[in-house]
Structure 1
Amino acid sequence: MDRGSGLNILYVDTLNTMHIPRTELHPAGSPFHGVILGAQAYLVGQIDLLITFGNRANFRLKVITFEVVDFLGSYHTIMGWPCYAKFMAIPNHTYLKLKMPGPNDVITVSSAFLHAFMCNHEHFELTTVVVNSSELPQLGESLAPAVLDYNKLTSSMAFRPLEEAKAVGIDPIDPTKMVWIGTQLLAK
């Protein structure tokens, strides 16, 4: 469960463990940010998988689209808000429970605190290895166009588009209120 992810992520290792051939992937959209600070993460592709929550007496099935990524993760998959919305699920991170309506009763998915601690510890160790690796500086150099030098930015330049963008007014009364929309967005 990821309370902040706007993506459902499936790692290539998990895809391989499930014996799903890469021919089942369909082309992915744009890269995304937030995995490696300042760098873009590129997708291998997308895959639609049938996901089931519950038991034989009370279950729900939905097809969920996962973004398949080819980097190490300490989990098999990350289910984000798109999955929760489709299942109408509510995560409670304090009690490690995920609840959603089922056809006969509420479906509850639970975890143990020790299991969550071990996953977090493994994730911390993996993150530490990646950050301390000799490959990270080289990766940063190879992705230089996507990495911003935050020391050179002023407060008015803090958020700049990475591609050509068009200014669009959002408030007819105040013309200074603008949003920037990319002019090279992919059509879906």
Structure 2
Amino acid sequence: MAVPHYTYLVLKMPSPAGVLALRANLTIAYACEIESLTLVKAIDLSIQMASVVTEAKTVPTKDMEILELEPSHASTKSKEVKEVGLGLDDPSKTMKIGAHLDPK
């Protein structure tokens, strides 16, 4: 029976000549671990993408329309802003109020 010792990256197993110890290279073991984690992330992402594509096919066409937004009215108005303190307790608490606000 083989016994792995992960701290030292040694695999020991019995042999006719005694105990056979196979030693690993720490750099290569680390690179393999990183590569396997990258592969697992890619597989997980592809599974999630497949489920998103399946769900997207069930969405009605009218719900997938992109609506055009009206341009903001605030962009054409003056940029005058007044900063007002909210209280005497903390002077850092302020509020900015525009000079030309939309009546709505």
Q: By the TM > 0.5 criterion, same fold?
A: no
The alignment's TM-score, normalised by the length of structure 1, stands at 0.25
Based on CA coordinates, which of the two structures has the bigger radius of gyration?
2
The higher relative CO (CA closer than 8 Å, separation ≥ 6) is in: 1
TM, length-normalised to structure 2: 0.44
Higher strand share: 1
